[in-house]
Amino acid sequence: MPWLAVGAAIGAAVAVATGAIAAATATLEAWQRRADGAALYEGRQPLVARVSGHEQPLPALAARCANCHEGAQAIAPALTERTLAHAQPRRGGPPSRYDARALCRLLREGLDPALVLVPRAMPRYEIDERACSALWAHLQSR
């Protein structure tokens, strides 16, 4: 009988440990995604981008998001959870908010969530789902 109790206790302990490992792995993955997104945003991890209508890709340095969206010289709005994930009018369109998919469409096609085209100064990016969701995770954490 006691052996059964010991077995049950071990089973429970293993279940708790497995749960803790799964939770830690998920946290680590989320942290890694944000870190990948920060590297893309700051240009430490280069992205292929073009000025709309141009064949020639931009030099990697010119494609860094931070160039245009950050600092005193910024020519474009700050990209944060507050500016992106909350409904607000953008470029004369109706109020709209971004999610990961909307961000990917904007980066690839230049269309915002209300389907208003952004100015050509915003490059078009060749970006896959993984990189896009990493960027979104990073921008959400700012």
- Tell whether residue 119 is a contact of ligand HEC (CB under 6 A): yes
Q: Which is nearer to ligand HEC, 38 or 118 (CB)?
A: 118
Q: Is 76 in the site for ligand HEC (CB under 6 A)?
A: yes
Residue 125 found at the interface with ligand HEC (CB under 6 A): yes
1 vs 61, beta carbon nearer ligand HEC: 61
11-50: contacts with ligand HEC (CB under 6 A): 47
What is the residue type of 133? S
Per-residue binding string, ligand HEC, 89-108, x by CB under 6 A, is -xx-----------x--xx-
Q: Which residue type occupies 35?
A: A
Distance CA 115, CA 97 (A): 11
Instruction: Indicate the burial class of 85 (C-beta count within 10 angstroms; 0-12, 13-18, 19 or more).
Output: middle
Helix (H) or strand (E) holding 50: strand 48-50
